[in-house]
């Protein structure tokens, strides 16, 4: 069976609603007219009845034998003059003295609603009479002295039926119905088209299926996914995001869930993809913020969270391979230069000098490599140090590794990737600080086991200006070119997430010492 389109459904529904509204309004209008008409008829009837009850002839002859011969002509003249349907005069015994039908004279009044009028009460009633359903006014007739009731005057005006009112006002009603339906038809078409446009020409079942598919995909992804609106209010969280943030409630502002103020600010920039680490409940996450735009207008952002440790576990081998490759590349460049020197000595027939150079180089390199292999147990860190040592030689920097250094095992809570990040960034910044000097020296002391980590990097560079702690802020860089201010900020986040501390000691033109301590509170105290 073919589905009815949303546009057609809205058109039919709106049109039926308009028809119902117009018909209902017309019916209510008829009822209001009928009620108002009846009130007007009642007021008119009781005014006529009061007038008739005050006529001297009526007062004098009601209740007397032959009184109908005097009362009937008077009542009929008044009836015809006022255009009412009947005027009936009866005495206290309910004997009629006037009636439009003379055959009813002398008979009992049998309306059923006249009892109160026999007790000097004046009122209006609506009841079925001899001539039909009518609005009737009852007024008591008092004697000339006004102290004794002698009869009752009732004036009746037949009440118009609903059908008669419809017939009377049919032209006005048809005109109103026509214009109502016409305007309703135009409005229905407009609403249907507007709604279809707002739903991107998708049918409701298509929207429902699309939402279900997108939700299932979001829930199935191995990423924590959050969506925010333009006010940075979280409107969607998948299962992994709820697990990461330990929040299972309803919508909440991003700044309330994450105290980091930069996250809410970056999520509202909506101009480029942002990559940042994020500390949440003591766990480090890698965060990507994607702007969401509709017709070039920012409407929110999509935030993807990845557990940094899980990412490092997957990238552990790749990280180690990369650092080893960098070490080999740097060593290859260094050895090529030395081979050129040896080749030149051989060409000059200075074979003894060439042999001594080979022996010295092999001995020096073997000593360093053997020391690192003996005291550095993690291959990623080992590869990094070899690579940085070769890189330092390329830059003309003397990288000295303290003989008291050791890495028995990586401290609990840290990964090889964390160690590579900390050491790599500290050494890079130290070597960068020495480049403008002739004597360039960087010293590294690394000590680590399962319970603590100690790293000290010292350089004899240009030093840091006041407020040296700013080097750990995002976006702050001491480099003149290509500095993004991220490396040391990553170092600080890793150290903070493991409840460690960083100490900076620096003097202008004398150098800088950066010390990292994790898990050493008792020793420090």
Instruction: With both helix axes pointing from N to C terminus, report the angle between 416-434 and 379-395 in degrees, rounded to the nearest 10.
Output: 10
DSSP, residue by residue, 356-405: HHHHHHHHHHHHHHHHHHHHB--HHHHHHHHHHHHHHHHHT-EEEE-TT-
Cα-Cα-Cα-Cα dihedral sign, residues 208, 214, 216, 218: negative
Give the residue carrying structure tokens 């700044």: 255
State the Cα–Cα distance between residues 163 and 133, nearest whole angstrom: 14
Closest C-alpha to 523, from 491, 501, 498, 492:
501
Q: How confident is the model at residue 482, as a pLDDT?
A: 47
Q: How confident is the model at residue 287, as a pLDDT?
A: 85
- For the chain, the first-to-last Cα distance in angstroms comes to 80
Q: How confident is the model at residue 162, as a pLDDT?
A: 64
Find out whether 508 and 461 touch, Cβ atoms under 8 Å.
no
The total number of residues shown for the chain amounts to: 525
**Distances from the Cα of 492 to the Cα of 325, 341, 429, 498, 524, angstroms:** 27, 43, 14, 10, 19
Q: Where are the beta strands (DSSP E) in 70-148?
A: 86-91, 123-128, 133-142
| Three-state DSSP class for residue 464 | coil
Looking at residue 83, what DSSP letter applies?
T
CA atoms within 13 A on the CB side of 415: 20
- Burial of 368: CB neighbours in 10 Å, binned 0-12, 13-18, 19+: middle
- The pTM assigned to this predicted structure is 0.45
The runs of H, that is alpha helices, within 300-378 are: 308-347, 351-375
Give the residue carrying structure tokens 């890793």: 494
Closest C-alpha to 147, from 59, 68, 67:
59
Closest C-alpha to 129, from 166, 103, 157, 106:
157
What residue ranges define each of the domains in the chain, with the CATH number in brackets?
6-165 (3.30.450.20), 222-310 (3.30.450.20), 376-524 (3.30.565.10)
Q: Diameter of the chain by CA atoms? A: 173
Q: How confident is the model at residue 345, as a pLDDT?
A: 73
Structure tokens at 45: 């009837």
State the Cα–Cα distance between residues 210 and 304, nearest whole angstrom: 21
Per-residue pLDDT for the chain (525 aa), expressed as one digit of tens each?
567 777 777 778 877 887 888 788 878 887 887 788 888 889 999 999 999 999 999 998 998 888 999 999 999 999 999 989 889 999 999 999 999 888 889 899 887 888 889 988 999 988 776 666 788 899 999 988 888 999 999 998 887 766 666 777 778 777 877 887 788 778 878 887 887 787 777 777 777 788 787 777 777 777 888 888 888 888 888 888 888 888 887 778 887 777 665 555 555 555 677 777 777 777 778 888 888 888 778 888 888 888 877 766 555 544 555 555 655 666 666 667 667 777 777 887 777 777 777 766 665 667 777 888 889 998 888 888 888 888 888 888 999 999 999 999 999 988 888 898 899 889 988 998 888 888 899 999 999 999 999 999 999 988 887 666 777 776 666 664 444 457 788 888 889 888 899 999 988 888 899 999 998 764 454
Give the residue carrying structure tokens 């990737």: 417
- For residue 445, give every residue at least 6 positions away whose Cβ sits within 8 Å of its Cβ, in sequence order, or none: 402, 404, 405, 454, 455, 456
Closest C-alpha to 271, from 307, 249, 296, 305:
296
State the Cα–Cα distance between residues 458 and 401, nearest whole angstrom: 11
Q: How confident is the model at residue 525, as a pLDDT?
A: 45
State the Cα–Cα distance between residues 196 and 205, nearest whole angstrom: 13
Q: Cβ–Cβ contacts within 10 Å for residue 307, how many?
A: 18
The runs of H, that is alpha helices, within 439-514 are: 487-497
**Distances from the Cα of 192 to the Cα of 170, 179, 183, 222, angstroms:** 32, 20, 14, 41
State the Cα–Cα distance between residues 130 and 198, nearest whole angstrom: 65
């Amino acid at each position: 069976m073919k589905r009815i389109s949303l546009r057609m459904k809205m058109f039919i529904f709106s049109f039926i609603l308009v028809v119902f509204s117009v018909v209902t309004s017309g019916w209510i209008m008829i009822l209001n007219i009928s009620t108002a008409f009846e009130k007007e008829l009642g007021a008119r009837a009781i005014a006529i009845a009061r007038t008739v009850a005050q006529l001297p002839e009526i007062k004098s002859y009601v209740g007397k034998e032959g009184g109908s011969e005097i009362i009937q002509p008077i009542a009929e003249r008044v009836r015809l003059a006022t255009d009412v349907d009947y005027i009936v005069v009866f005495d206290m015994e309910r004997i009629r003295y006037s009636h439009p039908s003379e055959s009813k004279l002398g008979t009992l009044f049998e309306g059923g609603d006249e009892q109160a009028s026999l007790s000097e009460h004046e009122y209006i009633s609506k009841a079925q009479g001899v001539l039909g359903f009518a609005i009737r006014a009852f007024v008591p007739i008092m004697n000339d002295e006004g102290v004794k009731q002698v009869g009752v005057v009732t004036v009746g005006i037949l009440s118009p039926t609903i059908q008669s009112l419809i017939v009377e006002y049919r032209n006005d009603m048809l005109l109103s119905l026509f214009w109502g339906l016409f305007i309703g038809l135009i409005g229905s078409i407009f609403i249907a088209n507007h709604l279809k446009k707002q739903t991107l020409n998708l049918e409701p079942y298509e929207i429902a299926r699309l939402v279900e598919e997108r939700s299932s995909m979001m829930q199935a992804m191995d990423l924590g996914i959050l969506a925010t609106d333009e006010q940075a209010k979280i409107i969607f969280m998948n299962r992994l995001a709820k697990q990461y943030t330990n929040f299972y409630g309803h919508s909440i502002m991003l700044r309330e869930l994450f105290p980091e103020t930069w996250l809410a600010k970056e999520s509202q920039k909506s101009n480029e993809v942002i990559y940042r680490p994020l500390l949440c409940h003591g766990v480090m996450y890698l965060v990507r913020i994607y702007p969401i735009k509709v017709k070039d207008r920012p409407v929110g952002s999509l935030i993807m969270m990845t557990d940094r440790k899980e990412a490092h576990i997957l990238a552990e081998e790749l990280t180690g391979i990369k650092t080893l490759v960098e070490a080999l590349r740097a060593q290859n460049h260094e050895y090529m230069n030395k081979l050129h020197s040896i080749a030149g000595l051989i060409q000059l027939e200075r074979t003894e000098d060439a042999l001594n150079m080979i022996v010295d180089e092999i001995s020096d390199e073997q000593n360093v490599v053997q020391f690192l292999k003996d005291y550095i147990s993690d291959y990623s860190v080992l590869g990094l140090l070899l690579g940085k040592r070769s890189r330092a030689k390329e830059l003309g920097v003397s990288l000295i590794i303290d003989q008291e250094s050791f890495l028995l095992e990586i401290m609990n809570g840290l990964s090889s990737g964390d160690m590579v990040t900390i050491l790599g960034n500290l050494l890079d910044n130290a070597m960068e600080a020495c480049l403008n000097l002739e004597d360039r020296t960087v010293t590294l002391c690394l000590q680590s086991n399962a319970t603590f980590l100690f790293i000290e990097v010292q350089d004899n560079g240009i030093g840091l200006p006041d407020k040296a702690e700013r080097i750990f802020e995002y976006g702050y860089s001491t480099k003149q070119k290509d500095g993004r201010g991220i490396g040391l900020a990553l170092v600080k986040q890793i150290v903070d997430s493991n409840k460690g501390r960083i100490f900076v000691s620096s003097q202008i033109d004398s150098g800088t010492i950066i010390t990292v301590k994790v898990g050493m509170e008792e020793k420090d105290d």
